[in-house]
Chains A and B, each alone.
Chain A
């Protein structure tokens, strides 16, 4: 089944404790991206990747890192999480940047 998977689905952590949210797709998509969703603000892009080893900042990259060492995986790294990073995070992939995006199920992160 074609899908985008994210782990974990839920995470409660404390300020400053490094964490990684994994994202994987099995559709051989070139384009992958991370979004955060906050009430009233819609989906805001954090980082995106056009292909392996090619990543770029989205609209809200501060406090986040990503890597794209393999085509299928695009982890989101929070080196030192802060409470303002409490949000719902979605990973998405598409064949190219202008094609329809397939979203993962989301990761709800709470930073205390």
Chain B
């Protein structure tokens, strides 16, 4: 079945550094969604990408969908302590990656 691999599993950064998490699928995805889960919280939807090569931005967050629609990335510029949490990608049919846990040192 469809596998969605996400790397890295953990990332610890100094506040102000950039952060990137990658999501890779063994098959072509119809779309991909990104979610954020704060510690002790529930996943919250961030964005959905549908088109090949699509790039979307939300303030310091940049989301990209690969040309072959098999991979995606989330890049955070100049991390802040409020970015702490676990970031999940989810490919359709809905299968979540294992997530990347981000910690930020002030």
Taking beta carbons and an 8 Å cutoff, which residues of A are in contact with B?
A: 33, 35, 40-45, 48, 59, 90, 92, 97-98, 100-106
Give the contacting residue for A98; candidates B45, B92, B96; CB below 8 A: B92
Total inter-chain residue pairs, C-beta < 8 Å:
49
Q: Is the beta-carbon distance between B6 and A42 smaller than 8 angstroms?
A: yes
Taking beta carbons and an 8 Å cutoff, which residues of B are in contact with A?
A: 1, 6, 9, 30-31, 33, 35, 41-45, 48, 88, 90, 92-99
A84 to chain B, nearest CB (A): 18
Q: Is the beta-carbon distance between A97 and B94 smaller than 8 angstroms?
A: yes
Contacts of B94 in A (CB 8 A): 33, 45, 48, 97, 101
Give the contacting residue for B45; candidates A33, A41, A44, A100; CB below 8 A: A100
